Structure 1
Amino acid sequence: MNILDTIIHRKKEELAFSKSKVSVQQLKDSEFFGRKSFSLKETLKTKSGIIAEFKRQSPSKGVINNKVPPLDVVSAYEQSGASAVSVLTDRDFFGGSFSDILSIRNHIQIPVLRKDFMVDEYQFYEAKSIGADVILLIAACLSPQQVQEFTALSHELGLEVLLEIHSEEELKHINPDVDLAGINNRNLKDFKVDLRHSVDLKNRLPEGILSVAESGIYSEEDFIYLKKKGFDGFLMGEYFMKDENPGNKFKEFISNVTI
Structure 2
Amino acid sequence: MLADLVAGAREDAERRRAERPLAVVESAALAQAPAIDALAALAPAERVKIIAEVKRASPSRGALAEIPDPAAHAALYEAGGASAISVLTEERRFHGSLADLEAVRAAVSLPVLRKEFVSDPYQVFEARAAGADLVLLIVAALDQPQLTELHALVTELGMTSLVEAHTADELSRAFDTGARLVGVNARNLSTFELDRDLFGRLADRYPAGTIRVAESAVKTADDVAHYRSAGADVVLVGEALVTSDPVATLHEFLGA
**TM-score w.r.t. structure 1 length?**
0.91
CA distance in 1, matches of 2:16, 2:116: 15
Unaligned regions of 5+ residues in structure 2, if any?
A: none
Q: 1:48 touches 1:82 (CA, 8 Å); kept in 2? A: no
Alignment partner, residue 42 of structure 2: 44
Alignment partner, residue 127 of structure 1: 127
Alignment partner, residue 249 of structure 1: 246
Alignment partner, residue 183 of structure 1: 184
Aligned residues: 253
SS in 2 for 1:30: helix
Deviation at 1:114, TM superposition (A): 0.2
- CA change 1:224–1:117 in 2 (3 A) is same
CA distance in 2, matches of 1:11, 1:68: 22
Q: Deviations over 1:27-83 (max 9, x none)?
A: 134388421111221112368510000000000000000144101110011012110
SS in 1 for 2:35: coil
Alignment partner, residue 205 of structure 1: 206
**Partner amino acid for 2:39?**
K
Q: Which moved more, 1:192-201 or 1:170-179?
A: 170-179
Q: Does 1:258 align with 2:241?
A: no
CA distance in 2, matches of 1:159, 1:7: 23
Alpha-carbon RMSD across the aligned residues, in angstroms, is 1.8
**Partner amino acid for 2:132?**
A
CA distance in 2, matches of 1:115, 1:228: 26
**Partner amino acid for 1:8?**
V
Q: Which moved more, 1:249-258 or 1:234-243?
A: 249-258
Alignment partner, residue 107 of structure 1: 107
Alignment partner, residue 9 of structure 1: 7
CA distance in 1, matches of 2:136, 2:182: 10
Deviation at 1:254, TM superposition (A): 1.6
Q: 1:48 touches 1:81 (CA, 8 Å); kept in 2? A: no
Q: Which moved more, 1:14-23 or 1:81-90?
A: 14-23
Alignment partner, residue 90 of structure 2: 90
**Partner amino acid for 1:21?**
E
SS in 2 for 1:224: helix
Unaligned regions of 5+ residues in structure 1, if any?
A: none
Deviation at 1:146, TM superposition (A): 1.5
Matching of residues 164-183 of structure 1 within 5 Å = 164-174=164-174, 175=176, 177-183=178-184
Identity within the alignment, %: 32
SS in 2 for 1:60: coil
CA distance in 1, matches of 2:164, 2:3: 16
Q: Deviations over 1:158-203 (max 9, x none)?
A: 1100100001221232225213110001111111111212211122
Q: 1:144 touches 1:172 (CA, 8 Å); kept in 2? A: no
Deviation at 1:257, TM superposition (A): 4.5
Q: Which moved more, 1:191-200 or 1:84-93?
A: 191-200
SS in 1 for 2:52: strand
Alignment partner, residue 231 of structure 1: 232
Q: Which moved more, 1:77-86 or 1:199-208?
A: 199-208
**TM-score w.r.t. structure 2 length?**
0.92
